[in-house]
Amino acid sequence: MSDTTQFLGYINDGYKTKGEFITMGAAMLGQETVTGAHVKVPLKTLNRHGLIAGATGTGKTKTLQVIAENLSEKGIPVLLMDLKGDLSGLAQPSPGHPKIDERHEKIGLEFTPKNFPVEIMSLSEQDGVRLRATVSEFGPILLSRILDLTETQQGIMAVLFKYCDDNKLPLLDLKDLKKIIQYATDEGKKEIQQEYGRMSTASTGSIMRKIIELEQQGADLFFGEKSFEVDDLTRVDKDGRGYINIIRLTDIQDRPKLFSTFMLSLLAEIYATFPEQGDSGRPELILFIDEAHLIFKEASDALLDQIESIVKLIRSKGIGLYFVTQNPTDVPDAVLAQLGLKVQHALRAFTAKDRKAIKMTAQNYPDSEYYDTAEVLTSLGIGEALITALDEKGRPTPLAATMLRAPMSRMDVLTDSELKALIDNSKMIKKYNEEIDRESAYEMLNEKIEKAEKVKAEEEKRKEKEKASRSRGSSRRKSTRMNPVVKVLTSATFIRGVLGVLKKVI
């Protein structure tokens, strides 16, 4: 039996599936592609999360595009974080190319150009469906973890939320949150202290500074109404294809705090909203987080714990999370251990540190008699990757160096006119892009302060009047009180005495 025949059995047995699946490409032995040795990933295990890693320019984004297309065709909606701005081409069919035809001939798959239903979304002022959430929806715990508050500061945040709940003060945006902190520090300090206990002015000041830091990264655009309903991420078109929702993040690459704030809010909302799915055989929604290191780069320990918990729990809701980054070491070990599908593109060994990282990366993959993993990692070409997934019984599939299929959609961005047409035809734009600023804690507390100041002013005015009245009364009494000399001179005795003298003289 030849090596190729043995290898074909190794791949076909390892990637055998009875249910629905997506085909990633064909396995390679050395530099040769084994036509028909298809590497398939069961839909059933796609909610077990995944990783797409590799050096810049090795094809990570195109791999993401391929997986998103195949999921959409299967009726599974997708959410993509587009930090580089190169995923909008999913809305247009591929123009085709002889090299694509040559690649698919080697793989043993027919290539058919297609476009897919796409919804463009935005966290900022870029065009697209605006994604927002209220401060109340975040809640004190998640917000405290995002702001990296101390235990004492977390307690204060919880008290402020409780006060707003008890007094029916909606916390919708950051100006509401800043106002309640200001109120608790100044005008309402005595009222809140009597009911909920003492608050340190130093702690409320620290919380305020951290909120302002978040605000400076553009979070004031994200917090507010109308809140985005996560059920709208699970739409399918009239042909039964899942929508590919693309969030344009090209203008927030240097604002990781806003990015991680949004991600945690979204995942927490999905977990709270979606029902338990059980073993349904296919996921409800797949999320791809490009440039995933931005989430973990500046995350506090509390924030990392929150992410780890969500990654562990959210798969029971039928949600799959896929992290896209340059190196698996960008992802914390606790999260990396939860990832079922791993697509590893080439890594480059330019330094001793790079070579050490490659050896560590190789240890994340199953051993194989057909591959020296560390060596293959540096020799893979563009559009080639090492793949291991989970089979239908949850077992890791054999490691396979794979020539990946090409995207069916355009591998380039939409033109300005194409993007405008796509956005103009969106029904979601009409639903979410009206900015609402209804009466909330900010306005209500301002009104309360104004009333208190008015009452105080009236009280001071009343006291001034009383004081002035007392002063006038005192003056009258003083003016009617006779001078002692005058009193003597005008007394009857004095007058009679004077008159008696005068009479004698006369």
pLDDT in tens, 160-194: 999 899 988 888 889 999 999 998 888 888 888 88
Give the pLDDT confidence score for residue 296 in this predicted structure: 77
Contact 289, 282 (CB under 8 A): no
Residue 14 has pLDDT above 80, yes or no: yes
Give the pLDDT confidence score for residue 267 in this predicted structure: 85
Q: What is the pLDDT of residues 24-65, one digit of tens each?
A: 999 999 889 999 899 999 999 999 999 999 998 899 999 999
Give the Cα separation of 487 and 220 in Å (integer). Answer: 79
DSSP-derived 3-state class of residue 410:
coil
- Residue 32 β-bridge partners: 29
Q: Choose between 39 and 453: higher pLDDT.
A: 39
Conformation bin of residue 108: beta by default, left when phi > 0, alpha when psi is -120 to 50 = left
Secondary structure letter of residue 46 according to DSSP: G
Secondary structure letter of residue 490 according to DSSP: T
Residue 151 has pLDDT above 70, yes or no: yes
User: Tokens representing 428?
Assistant: 């979601």
DSSP-derived secondary structure for 281-308:
SS-SEEEEETTTHHHHHT--HHHHHHHH
Give the Cα separation of 479 and 474 in Å (integer). Answer: 9
Give the Cα separation of 70 and 301 in Å (integer). Answer: 36
Contact 293, 129 (CB under 8 A): no
Q: Report the chain's terminal Cα–Cα distance, integer Å.
A: 168
Secondary structure letter of residue 393 according to DSSP: T
Q: What is the pLDDT of residues 103-122, one digit of tens each?
A: 999 999 999 999 999 999 98
Give the pLDDT confidence score for residue 479 in this predicted structure: 53
Closest CA to 407 of 35, 57, 92, 36: 92
Give the pLDDT confidence score for residue 1 in this predicted structure: 41
Quick one: 346 exposed, middle or buried, by C-beta within 10 A (0-12, 13-18, 19+)?
buried
Helix (H) or strand (E) holding 341: strand 341-344
Give the pLDDT confidence score for residue 300 in this predicted structure: 66
Arithmetic mean of pLDDT over the chain: 85
Most confident listed range (9-23, 106-120, 164-178, 422-436): 106-120
Residue 154 has pLDDT above 80, yes or no: yes
Lowest mean pLDDT among 69-73, 146-150, 175-179, 477-481: 477-481
Secondary structure letter of residue 315 according to DSSP: G
Q: Choose between 14 and 300: higher pLDDT.
A: 14
User: Sorting pLDDT into bands at 50, 70 and 90, what band is 489?
Assistant: low
User: Sorting pLDDT into bands at 50, 70 and 90, what band is 358?
Assistant: confident
Give the pLDDT confidence score for residue 500 in this predicted structure: 54
| CA distances for 328 relative to 68, 293, 398, angstroms | 21, 10, 19
Residue 283 has pLDDT above 60, yes or no: yes
Give the pLDDT confidence score for residue 407 in this predicted structure: 96
Determine the average pLDDT of the residues in 125-154: 86
Give the pLDDT confidence score for residue 301 in this predicted structure: 72
DSSP-derived 3-state class of residue 16:
coil
Residue 239 has pLDDT above 60, yes or no: yes
Q: Choose between 454 and 406: higher pLDDT.
A: 406
Give the pLDDT confidence score for residue 492 in this predicted structure: 56
Half-sphere exposure of 479 toward its Cβ, with a 13 Å CA cutoff?
A: 6
Closest CA to 347 of 371, 363, 326: 326
Give the pLDDT confidence score for residue 405 in this predicted structure: 96
User: Sorting pLDDT into bands at 50, 70 and 90, what band is 505?
Assistant: very low
Helix (H) or strand (E) holding 164: helix 151-166
Give the pLDDT confidence score for residue 108 in this predicted structure: 94
Q: What is the pLDDT of residues 456-474, one digit of tens each?
A: 677 777 777 777 777 766 6
Lowest mean pLDDT among 233-237, 261-265, 268-272, 403-407: 261-265
Sheet holding 285-289, edge to edge: 32-42, 21-29, 400-404, 384-388, 341-344, 50-53, 319-325, 285-289, 78-82, 244-248, 118-122, 129-130
